[in-house]
Amino acid sequence: MDKLLLRGGTLLDEEARLTRDTDLLVEGGVIAALGQNLDPAGARVADCAGMVVSPGLPVLHAHSPMHILRGLAEDVDADDWFNKEIWPYESKITPEDIYWGTRLCCAEMADCGVTVFADHYFEAESVARAVRDSGLRADIASTAFAMDGDAAGDIAETRRLLGLFAGDDRVRIRYGPHSTYLCTPQALGDLVAAAKADGVGIHIHMSESQEEERASLRLYGKSHCQVLDAAGGFGLPCIMAHGLWMTEEDLALLGPDTFVAACPKTYLKLGMGRGTLWDHWQRLNLCIGTDGAASSNTVSALEQARLFALVGKLEGRAAEFRLEDIWRMLMRGHRAMDFGTGVLGVGAPADLVVWDLNDPGTAPLYNPLAAILYSADRTNVRHTLVAGRFLKRDGKPVQDPAELLAQADRCARGISARGKGVSRLFF
Ligand SMILES: [Zn+2]
């Protein structure tokens, strides 16, 4: 395996600590050494003087195939977005649309410094194959809709995928009950029990809108968190998408392995409100998600983190949502996925971003963290590496996007031509 020396950069670690003028040696896909004046013998050298080297960015909630639907459902509220637009289109989506949608998503992620993501979609095998072909890492949940109370088919499918991708160092599989409103309590309990038996976690939408929470109270006399708790869902690793409207009682139910993925751009675009999330954000294992591009339009973790801070500061809280806290929140997503990424330490996977901030959009560099969180965009991502392999190099994608764009265009024409079908989903 090639040796690569990232020479003379400023390291920005997961705790927002900066170490200037440091070399980072990559060998065998991991960080082999850190220090000053490391021996470059046998290594390719990338000069990082004046640049910042950080762990790659994690996204803890995505629907990567939805890139193929980007721009189809605009200027609608959450109810119409689901019921009148997205679910009717999704009822006619094909595995090929899902594969190329995911490839498009992965290409955008690599371009903006995202190296790992937690995905939630049906036809998850197509998602996993696209991830494998893209070079990124992903923790993939196979979405289970079990409104009829029978999760046996979903459990069998997830077990098939667990077998298929066992030992893959860039793909992890977990259970993906869609939500407490699209799975019955019985089905939810069965999915949680299967996840426990298989030694993996779950990824689920929770407490996303006030109306859903009210409906849950009407139907079960319980909040989403109380329903999941009764099913045992907080006793295993849990990625909770949104958690926007949780109450004090809900917070007390969360487990040590419950990680919450906030996707503020979706809440802003679909007019969903701030819920209670910004009140108790520091009491949660809070991380950043992007949701799907059909609602968020991009998969920039940086944009979502920035929006989270700005929404928090909006009404008289300018001294809160501090740079270091926002960076730690962003980096925390690594811990919710089982790849050992997100650490600048010897032996850790070399999943890295090199930021070029010597640019009219970000200079001068009094505060690199401010430059990244409030000024930078994907044009400042000089290199993106996963397992020591370049996915973006010298500002350009390593994989030529021409075929990908042609395939995505072909799929989009097919989706437009087929139009909307009848969805079996509702809320
Ligand atoms: Zn979602």
Q: Where are the domains of the chain?
A: 3-55+348-397, 57-336
Phi-psi region of 395 (alpha: psi -120 to 50; beta: other; left: phi over 0): left
| Burial class, 143, CB count within 10 angstroms (exposed 0-12 / middle 13-18 / buried 19+) | buried
Q: What is the pLDDT of residue 82?
A: 86
Structure tokens at 252: 């007390």
* 212 closest CA partner among 188, 167, 244, 187: 244
Distance between CA atoms of residues 313 and 396, nearest Å: 35
Distance between CA atoms of residues 164 and 413, nearest Å: 32
Q: Which tens digits make up the pLDDT trace of 334-352?
A: 999 989 999 999 999 999 9
Å from CA of 145 to ligand 1 middle: 13
Å from CA of 23 to ligand 1 middle: 39
More confident residue, 81 or 223: 223
* 259 closest CA partner among 274, 276, 240: 240
Cβ partners under 8 Å of residue 137, min gap 6 = 115, 116, 117, 131, 170, 171, 337, 339, 341, 351, 386, 387
Q: What is the pLDDT of residue 422?
A: 83
Å from CA of 314 to ligand 1 middle: 25
- Terminal alpha carbon distance of the chain: 51
Q: What is the pLDDT of residue 1?
A: 55
Neighbours of ion ligand 1 (CB under 5 A): 241, 291
Å from CA of 205 to ligand 1 middle: 6
Mean pLDDT for the chain overall: 96
Q: Does 173 have pLDDT greater than 90?
A: yes
Q: Which tens digits make up the pLDDT trace of 31-67?
A: 999 999 999 999 999 999 999 999 999 999 999 999 9
Q: Which tens digits make up the pLDDT trace of 95-104?
A: 999 999 999 9
Å from CA of 4 to ligand 1 middle: 37
Distance between CA atoms of residues 23 and 35, nearest Å: 5
Q: Is the full-model pTM beyond 0.85?
A: yes
Distance between CA atoms of residues 66 and 293, nearest Å: 6
Q: Are 24 and 344 in contact (CB under 8 A)?
A: yes
Beta bridge partners of 54: 353
Give the pLDDT band of residue 426 (cuts 50, 70, 90). Answer: low
Provide CATH code, domain 3-55+348-397. 2.30.40.10
Å from CA of 260 to ligand 1 middle: 12
Query: 38-42, 86-90, 131-135, 248-252: which has the minimum mean pLDDT?
Result: 86-90
Q: Does 425 have pLDDT greater than 80?
A: no
Summarize the confidence of residues 159-180 as an average pLDDT: 97
Q: Does 424 have pLDDT greater than 80?
A: no
Q: Collapse the DSSP code of 88 into the 3-class scheme (helix H, G, I; strand E, B; otherwise coil) and give the result.
A: helix
Block residue for tokens 């419950």: 258
Q: What is the pLDDT of residue 127?
A: 98
Which one-letter DSSP state was computed for residue 56?
P
Q: What is the pLDDT of residue 266?
A: 95
Domain 57-336 in CATH 3.20.20.140: yes
Give the pLDDT band of residue 78 (cuts 50, 70, 90). Answer: confident
Q: What is the pLDDT of residue 215?
A: 95
Å from CA of 94 to ligand 1 middle: 19
Give the pLDDT band of residue 410 (cuts 50, 70, 90). Answer: very high
Q: What percent of the chain lies above the pLDDT cut of 70?
A: 99
Cβ partners under 8 Å of residue 48, min gap 6 = 6, 7, 8, 9, 24, 354
Give the pLDDT band of residue 81 (cuts 50, 70, 90). Answer: confident
Å from CA of 34 to ligand 1 middle: 38
Query: 73-82, 231-240, 294-303, 324-333: which has the minimum mean pLDDT?
Result: 73-82
Å from CA of 291 to ligand 1 middle: 5
* 371 closest CA partner among 336, 333, 323: 323
Å from CA of 1 to ligand 1 middle: 38
Distance between CA atoms of residues 281 and 264, nearest Å: 13
Summarize the confidence of residues 190-211 as an average pLDDT: 97
Q: Which tens digits make up the pLDDT trace of 247-289?
A: 999 999 999 999 999 999 999 999 999 999 999 999 999 999 9
